Structure 1
Amino acid sequence: MWIFDTSRDKKLYHTALLLMRIVVGIFMFTHGLKKYMMLFSGELIQFPDPLGVGSTTSLVLTVFAEVVCSALIFIGLGTRLVVLPLIFTMFVIVFVVHGADGFGNQELPAVYLLIYLVLLVTGSGKYSIDHLISRKRSKVTY
């Protein structure tokens, strides 16, 4: 019965990775844009500083992860590399920023953390710029 079949349909697998990259990329990108606007609002920056590097620096690092890295995940460029800042950011949010707040505040960043860990392991899939680069490099003979 197909429900219990554990073999992998490669086209479906790569389509699922594409869908996951697009959705998580768009969601985190738009989430990060709100923080990006904080940088230019002219108001005093009030942002958590869980690592002791300063509120502005923490905000800039978070914006880099959430905006720049999410855009690269969306297109599938350097996926395994660009998930690292997002993994770090979500880890800090779950275990430091909301560490004592309980599951309700940890739930969504923990889901993002899991998705980024999956992308670290699987890579971006066939429908990505990473795949085009990999395919092009494998054709080069030395």
Structure 2
Amino acid sequence: MKRFFSISYNPDLVHIWLIFLRIGVAVLMWTHGIPKFMRLLEGNTGFGDPIGLGSTLSFFLVIFSEAICSLLILLGLGTRLAVIPLIISCSVAAFVAHADDPFGKKELLLLYILIYLTLLVMGGGKYSVDATIGPKRRR
């Protein structure tokens, strides 16, 4: 029973969990980004303008974050940088575009933000491209 209340952890399991978290959140966000990318290829750039940047620019920025940054997170390439546009776009969606909606409509966006904040703090882990090209930690 003490094990369930322990605050110790296995660092190897943390890195394994980070790869599952990265893959999972990237694939889930792709389900939002790829349809928007396909709309772009069809020439349909109609989109909201929640913060006054213009609907076309807003559309490109959301596609960049949801499709391109998700791919980077999947690979673990520039993970900490790649989550920043996703944190911004999910925050704008939750707190501006859906500001008047009930909590249930924002809940998924808030969960995404929490996951992206976790990846911002933790990085991609040792099973990422970041780990192969980044500086090696001394122990």
TM-score (norm 2): 0.92
Size of the alignment, in residue pairs? Answer: 136
Amino acid aligned to 1:22: I
**Could you tell me which residue of structure 2 aligns to residue 75 of structure 1?**
75
Displacement after TM superposition at 1:30 (Å): 2.6
Q: Which of structure 1's runs of 4+ aligned residues deviate more than 4 A?
A: none
Equivalent-residue separation in structure 2 for 1:111 and 1:28 (angstroms): 12
**Could you tell me which residue of structure 1 aligns to residue 29 of structure 2?**
28
Displacement after TM superposition at 1:3 (Å): 1.4
Matches within 5 A, 1:13-24: 13-24=14-25
Is there any run of 5+ residues in structure 1 with no aligned partner, and where?
A: none
Displacement after TM superposition at 1:56 (Å): 1.4
Equivalent-residue separation in structure 2 for 1:87 and 1:128 (angstroms): 20
Displacement after TM superposition at 1:31 (Å): 1.5
Displacement after TM superposition at 1:41 (Å): 2.2
Is there any run of 5+ residues in structure 2 with no aligned partner, and where?
A: none
**Could you tell me which residue of structure 1 aligns to residue 38 of structure 2?**
37
TM-score (norm 1): 0.90
**Could you tell me which residue of structure 1 aligns to residue 103 of structure 2?**
103
* CA shift digits 1:35-78 (9 cap, x unpaired): 111112244x3311101122111111000000000000001010
What RMSD in Å do the two structures reach over aligned CA positions?
A: 1.4
**Could you tell me which residue of structure 1 aligns to residue 5 of structure 2?**
4
| Greater shift in the superposed pair: 110-119 or 32-41 | 32-41
